[in-house]
Amino acid sequence: MNIHEYQSKDILRKYNVAVQRGRVAFTPDEAYKIAQELGSREFVVKAQIHAGGRGKGGGVKLAQSPEEAKAIAEKMFGMRLVTPQTGAEGKIVRRVLIAEALDIQQELYVGIVLDRSTSRLVFMASTEGGVEIEKVAAEMPEKILKEYIDPVVGLAGYQARRLAFGLKLEGDIFKKGVAFMQALYKAYISSDASLAEINPLVVTKSGDVIVLDAKINLDENALYRHPDLAALRDPDEEEPLEVEASKYNLNYIKLDGSVGCMVNGAGLAMATMDLIKLAGSSPANFLDVGGVANAETVKNGFLILMSDPNVKAVLVNIFGGIVRCDRVATGIKEALSQIEVTVPVVVRLQGNNADIAAQILKESGLSFIVATDFKECADKVVSALKQ
């Protein structure tokens, strides 16, 4: 799960990571009040959206007084912020972070992610902070230091020191850098994060090591252990259809093709998406209705995928292993009786009770294109789409 910068910073503070002072505002008046309370010489007003690269898009602005912070916030609220990460449609700003501006001496990069090839967390650090780390990785990979973490030992002292040394920190700043690495690691593990990116971590002119920007992703599968973190979800930042699907425990991910898919089992769903591609089109979504699909879940799944205006044809590809095809057929029939379907629907129901399912669909009086083979169903949906 993605969370906002200010929420990531709140988590880090709890684990004694040194973080830039600041608070979130939902209105210009709040922005003014927070700036006044911070009482610093200069402020930074930062749009809170689930995307990076805000600086480039005009979502990070300096202010010299609480009045100016308020005026900047006023302009930011409601603005459609376009950054290299949002796509052309941008994201609407509904929250802004008002923080104490820092006198930056140096911008560093520090990140933690899971490296799946070694099954370990990897700590990454670079002196090339502030800029796009992807660019550094592509053009100067030697500028990114890596430390792989033994899950039993955790981040060892010598590793934290090696990272700080690699960042060319010295003296007192070196010590603060080491403490930062250890506190960041503690925060990551304790909150069951799946990613932490501090870009930039800054060394200030007064010799402090402080988090200026933070991005933390939380492991959805561990959220049940952290009700306080689960509450950080911001539905405004999520795909509305995905939010709707999560209410019914459906695994739905919106994509940008035109073939709506309803499949059971993640493996079959992935294979179905591949076959649609091979047949010459693209899937509009991933939808796994699960092994225990009943008429109700199928109906909800169908309604969700049909409410995507990009869907120009639908492919239902269900293998009845545990699931019963007749229940799926009933669900499809119910869904189709509730909405007007103007696009072609290809159905492949194979396995458990497939014959009863075929009968249900036939008697429904609705028009389906029926397929039996896997490749055949993908070919049929793509040719129906093209007509």
Can 109 be counted among the known catalytic residues? yes
Q: How far is the CB of 300 from ligand GDP (least distance, A)?
A: 36
Judged by beta carbon, residue 5 or residue 379, the one nearer Mn ion is 5
Restricted to residues 201-230, the positions that interact with Mn ion (CB under 5 A) are 213
**From 1, 18, 71, 104, residue interacting with ligand GDP (rule: CB under 6 A):** 104
Question: Residues binding ligand GDP: what is the number (CB under 6 A)?
Answer: 16
- Specify the residue, 50 or 333, whose C-beta has the smaller distance to ligand GDP: 50
Q: What letters, b where the CB count within 10 A reaches 16 and e where it falls short, cover 272-301? A: bbebbeebebebbbbbbbbeebebebbbbb
Under rule CB under 6 A, residue 130 binds ligand GDP: yes
One of 44, 173, 210, 315 touching ligand GDP (CB under 6 A): 44
The item of ligand GDP, Mn ion, none sharing an interface with residue 318, based on CB under 5 to 8 Å by kind, is none
- By a kind-dependent CB cut-off of 5 to 8 A, residue 101 interacts, out of ligand GDP, Mn ion, none, with ligand GDP
197 catalytic per annotation: yes
Stretch 314-343 residues interacting with ligand GDP (CB under 6 A)? none
Based on CB atoms, which residue is closest to Mn ion, 59 or 177?
59
Q: Which is nearer to Mn ion, 202 or 385 (CB)?
A: 202
Interface residue with ligand GDP, options 55, 58, 166, 351 (CB under 6 A): 55
Q: What is the separation of C-alpha 46 from the centre of its chain, rounded to a whole number of angstroms?
A: 20
- Report the DSSP pairing between strands 345-351 and 369-370: parallel
Q: Which of 6, 32, 109, 185 is catalytic?
A: 109
> Can residue 300 be called a binding residue for Mn ion (CB under 5 A)?
no
Nearer to ligand GDP (CB atom), residue 44 or residue 160: 44
288 binds Mn ion (CB under 5 A): no
Residue 199 beta carbon to Mn ion: minimum distance, rounded to whole angstroms: 4
Nearer to ligand GDP by C-beta: 98 or 263? 98
Q: Report if residue 326 touches Mn ion, rule: CB under 5 A.
A: no
Q: Which two tokens stand for residue 48?
A: 């809170």
Q: Is 259 in the site for ligand GDP (CB under 6 A)?
A: no
Size of the site for Mn ion (CB under 5 A): 2
Active-site hit among 5, 128, 147, 197 = 197
Task: Supply φ then ψ for residue 109, to 5 degrees.
Answer: -120, 135
CA–CA gap between residue 241 and residue 265 (Å, rounded)? 20
Structure tokens at 279: 């047949």
- Tell which one of 101, 193, 210, 313 touches ligand GDP (CB under 6 A): 101
Residues that bind Mn ion in the complex, under the rule CB under 5 A: 199, 213
Active site residues: 109, 197
| Chain residues in the site for ligand GDP (CB under 6 A) | 44, 46, 52-55, 60, 101-102, 104, 107, 130, 199-200, 212-213
